[in-house]
Amino acid sequence: MAKKLFEGIRVVDFTLYLTGPLTTQALSNCGAEVIKIDTRSQMTGGGAGGQPMQTNKLSATLNFASPRGLELARRLIATADIVVENFAGGSLKRRGLGYDDIKTFKPDIIYLSTCMQGQTGPYSSHAASGHKLTALTGFDYISGWPDRPPSYMAAYTDIIAPRYNIIALLAALEYRRRTGKGQFLDMSQYEGGIQFMAPAILDYSVNKQITERAGNKYPYAAPHNAYRCTGEEMWCAIAVFTDKEWLSFCKVIGKPALAKDSRFTTLLARKENEEELDRLVNEWTSSRSAEDVMNQMQAAGVPAGMVENGDDHIERNHQLKHRHFLWELDHPGGPFFSPAGVHFQLSKTPYELQRSPIFGEHNNYVYKDILGLSDEDIAQLTQDGVIG
């Protein structure tokens, strides 16, 4: 079997919820040995128990707030290549597990902190979640309808930040390979997310204009909306940007003469008559299935995609099935489909998805095989609540 991409790399994972676990999952799915440190407080949220973002990881329970637990955490880190944490700025440092503490006994460690707003600055200690960060970054402000309050976008930044974290870790691993030195990676989820607001920031910096909510409208395309199709809550999104796409669109809906209608001949004209245009599009889509609308538009070179739900993803999406995107995994809590793969395919380093661990499932391996504790030591530590 081919060697996996990160085989031989050990990661100690002190992460919760989404950003941190998704970061380390990219490593675990590609062959790294990721040891997820689970505490009792994590058992109701953010821990290993069955969550899709914990695939291919090992779980060891540890109360590192206790002196003995802190000692075990340090001993485990001494065997690792990477430490990842996403607590509020300075949290692990106050417990004696900050980068400066660890590099004294593990100088080549790669230590990634991916907290909300970085490790420095007046708000670095703010505790938050991706839900609050989407508000801070401005995503909530521009999302929704012009006559309504800002939309609540959920934890969008939690999905953005891991991509930057992974790139930073890859760079740090390459740096260590060349120099033998580790480093500290101070990653701000806020800064990683706000760069997606660049057009709005640029518009204000140049024009002093604040980008407002526009629903499904877009200044450079028409039609540009989700259109009702046959079936309950079935829709297809269509976007026409260029004159060539507009001509093709008119042919697909069987109204080539519409392309010469003065109300729609140019993008500016289509934007001025967008409500009427949306009505015409809905007349055509409402008697067809969303998949049929998508396929006809795509065949003609017009961007379109049916609005899918979970049922569509699992039961009917031929593309996802062809690329083995969804993995059916067995778990003590019952089998489930997981979209937790690496989301890319490498010809020479394939991967296989394994289920998320249950809490403490690998305690014996971590404490006995890696750290060399005896069965008696493990039993006593469990009884004392250090690793139980």
Q: Which tens digit of pLDDT belongs to each residue from 297-311?
A: 999 999 999 999 988
pLDDT for 43 equals 45
Q: Which residues, 6+ apart, have CB-to-CB distance to 242 below 8 Å?
A: none
**Mean per-residue pLDDT of the chain:** 91
CATH 3.30.1540.10 boundaries in the chain: 224-313
DSSP labels for 207-272?
H-------TT-BTTBSSEEEEE-SSTT-EEEEE--SHHHHHHHHHHTT-GGGGG-TTTSSHHHHHH
The CATH number of 224-313 is 3.30.1540.10
Assess whether pLDDT exceeds 60 at residue 328. yes
Split at pLDDT 50, 70, 90, the class of 51 is low
Instruction: Give residue for tokens 């005896």.
Output: 374
CATH match of 10-195+325-383 with 3.40.50.150: no
Instruction: Give the span between the Cα atoms of 369 and 51, in whole angstroms.
Output: 26
* Contacts (Cβ under 8 Å, ≥6 apart) of 129: 17, 155, 158
How does pLDDT run across 189-221, given as a tens digit for each residue?
999 999 899 999 999 999 999 999 999 999 999
- Please list the residue range(s) of the chain that carry CATH number 3.40.50.10540: 10-195+325-383
* Residue 34 pLDDT grade (very low, low, confident, very high; cuts 50, 70, 90): very high
Q: How does pLDDT run across 58-73, given as a tens digit for each residue?
A: 999 999 889 999 999 9
